[in-house]
């Protein structure tokens, strides 16, 4: 069994900020566990700028932003394990993990910070009719394909939904040479928090179809096209509005939900409607010595808000660890 004072589960911006803050306030052994092959989390695939203005007074890309934290992690000699998945977490603060090099092992900690972030919901939550063929991805998956893995999800693309990631991906795919044939939204307003992203659709001549929904998906081995219809203010289909668009990829802008499975294993209380971990007045979960920060607590939020909250959680965790024994 490996013993640590503070273990942070998740190496995204929230986990990195919490680990840095914990180490700055406490000289004990801090460990970060990250299931991917590099630290940084989702921001590694966000190669557009707009990060860090209020924290570093710089306009940075996602990778540049998280590199600032990674450099600090190394400067403080904070330990981290990559390619390491947490299998389960107990309410006694024991963690069973599996690592690609050394297999399974157990970690015991004075204090644990859960920073597992959010995940995209699967296709089933979109209630899409039609074929379940290949070529249907979430926008986050497509973003990872292009920006990290280096290949395109398709050449003739339709995007369903208008969240921030969806509009960013629409622009990115167009720059890479794809033909984004339509961005479809069932409401009369876009979902993106950054409304300026809508201007990028105009700049790249990407059609935006408001008040439309998909009623059929065609294709056997791989998607070949979709049929959409226009809907009125009561969400009723307008007769005669059917339109077919051929495509070889359909990208879904789906809701994000907190990655709370480990918390549930440890019998940590989560909000039944949002799935977010609940914290008490001492910034802890209902189990003493287990804290949480980032998307698993706040849901999808601006990175700077996540970092500030995580710094505070790291400090609280260090105070707890300083007065505890394994």
Identify the bridge partners of residue 243 per DSSP, sorted by sequence position.
Answer: 228
- Cα distances (angstroms) measured from residue 47 to each of 15, 28, 100: 20, 34, 28
| Chain position carrying tokens 């052994």 | 29
CA proximity to 257, closest of 276, 285, 272, 271? 276
State how beta strands 136-138 and 156-160 pair: unpaired
| Chain position carrying tokens 């189990």 | 287
C-alpha 45: how far from chain center? 10
Q: 2-119+256-322 has which CATH code? A: 3.50.50.60
pLDDT at 195: 81
Report residues of the chain scoring pLDDT below 50. none
pLDDT at 301: 67
pLDDT at 38: 95
State how beta strands 118-120 and 256-258 pair: antiparallel
pLDDT at 141: 94
- Cα distances (angstroms) measured from residue 122 to each of 35, 43, 139, 238: 20, 20, 11, 28
Identify the bridge partners of residue 137 per DSSP, sorted by sequence position.
Answer: 251
269/138 Cα distance (integer angstroms): 29
- Cα distances (angstroms) measured from residue 139 to each of 152, 161, 181, 310, 321: 12, 9, 15, 26, 40
State the span(s) of the chain assigned CATH 3.50.50.60. Answer: 2-119+256-322, 122-252
Which CATH entry fits the domain spanning 122-252: 1.50.10.10, 3.40.50.720, 3.30.70.141, 3.50.50.60? 3.50.50.60
- pLDDT 10s digits, 101-118: 889 999 999 999 999 999
pLDDT at 124: 58
Question: Taking the CB of residue 324, how many other CB atoms lie within 10 A of it?
Answer: 15
pLDDT at 299: 78
């Amino acid at each position: 069994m490996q013993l640590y004072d503070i273990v942070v589960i998740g190496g995204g911006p929230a986990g990195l900020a919490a680990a840095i803050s914990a180490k700055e306030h406490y000289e004990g052994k801090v460990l970060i566990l990250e299931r991917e092959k590099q630290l940084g989390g989702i921001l590694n695939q966000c190669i557009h700028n707009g990060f860090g203005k209020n924290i570093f007074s710089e306009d940075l890309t996602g990778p540049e932003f998280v590199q600032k934290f990674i450099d600090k992690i190394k400067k403080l000699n904070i330990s981290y394990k990559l390619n390491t998945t947490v299998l389960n977490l107990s309410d006694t603060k024991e963690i069973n993990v599996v690592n690609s090099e050394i297999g399974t092992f157990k970690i015991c900690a004075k204090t644990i910070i859960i920073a597992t972030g959010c995940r995209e919901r699967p296709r089933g939550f979109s209630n899409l009719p039609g074929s379940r063929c290949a070529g249907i991805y979430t926008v986050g998956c497509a973003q990872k394909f292009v920006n990290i893995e280096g290949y395109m999800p398709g050449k003739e693309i339709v995007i369903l939904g208008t969240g921030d990631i969806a509009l960013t991906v629409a622009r990115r795919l167009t720059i890479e040479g794809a033909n984004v044939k339509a961005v479809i939204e069932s409401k009369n307003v876009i979902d993106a928090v950054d409304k300026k992203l809508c201007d990028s659709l105009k700049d790249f001549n990407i059609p935006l179809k408001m008040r439309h929904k998909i009623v059929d998906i065609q294709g056997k081995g791989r998607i070949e096209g979709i049929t959409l219809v226009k809907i009125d203010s009561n969400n009723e289909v307008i007769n005669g509005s059917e339109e077919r668009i051929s495509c070889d990829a359909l990208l879904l802008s789906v809701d994000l939900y907190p990655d709370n499975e480990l918390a549930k294993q440890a019998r940590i209380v989560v909000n039944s409607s949002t799935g977010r971990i609940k914290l008490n007045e001492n910034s802890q979960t209902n189990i003493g010595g287990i804290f949480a920060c980032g998307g698993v607590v706040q849901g999808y939020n601006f990175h700077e808000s996540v970092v500030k909250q995580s710094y505070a959680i790291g400090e609280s965790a260090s105070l707890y660890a300083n007065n505890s024994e394994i």
